[in-house]
Amino acid sequence: MASSNKLQDKLNLLDEMEHLFNKMLDNSSLLTQFLNEVDTHFTHSREEIENFSDWLKKIKESASNIDRLSSQANLLSINSAIEAGHIGREGAGFSVLAQEMKKLSLEIQKQASSIASINNNLGARFIPVKETTEKNQEQVQQIKIQVEEGHQNLISLSEQVNELKHIFTFISMQQFFNTVKLDHVLWKEAIYIHLLNNDDEHCVNQHTECRLGKWYYQGDGRKFAGTEAFRRLEEPHKLVHECGRLALSANINGDQDAVTQYIERMEQASVDVIKYVDVLLNSGTY
């Protein structure tokens, strides 16, 4: 009994460990999912950063083109002013237009230079943002790898716990069934002793009252209910008890032929009981 209790304590501990591992596996799965979402977010952010960087380059190119064109316009205005001076009074209106064109080109150059300065400032400020984003994504990916490795380790540990639980369950059931078979032998031995003592059938219990009977009708035996061996076990077990009790009753009545017949039937049924108990032990239904 003490050994059986220790086995049951170990099984209870393994059940707790299995529950804990399952919970840890669920949490690690959720963490992996979260890290995947973060990684995706960083990937999207890096894409947006790249797009923004491309826009800055295009703005810089446009500003450079504007500056180039304004320089050409300024040069044209200077040439136009010179030509207007050569023409004299008739070129006065053209000279005014050349001056306005020069002012406009200078203003365009000024604005283009301002745009280029702002663009360069944005680019300089955006570089550390890009670098930080890339670094954070790399760290997230490293963490994700470690979490996935931990998840696989948990799966391995959980499988080992399940295997250990299976072994202890088998040992526990083997111990129980061996005890049942021993009880069965001792019960038959008690029948022979009661025959020698001329005791009546009330000296022995019913098939529902022994260790096997309580297991079969009230205990963990119901987990085997779907097996053929479990269904076949009931009849010979019941017959063993009935024949043993009938043998005691016939002995009290002095009918030795009936005693012999009942004892033979009891022994035959006993063989089937042991057979089906062994089948259940080896069925793996535990």
What share of the chain has pLDDT > 90, as a percent? 29
93: nearest Cα among 78, 107, 106, 81: 81
Q: Mean pLDDT for the chain?
A: 79
Pick the CATH number of 2-166 from 1.10.287.950, 3.40.50.720, 2.40.50.220, 1.10.3720.10: 1.10.287.950
pLDDT for 188:
93
Instruction: Name the band, by pLDDT with cuts 50, 70 and 90, for residue 33.
Output: confident
Q: Please state the domain extents for the chain.
A: 2-166, 198-281
Side chain identity, residue 192: Y
Are 168 and 77 in contact, with CB atoms under 8 Å apart?
no
Per-residue pLDDT of 77-87, as tens digits, reads: 666 656 655 55
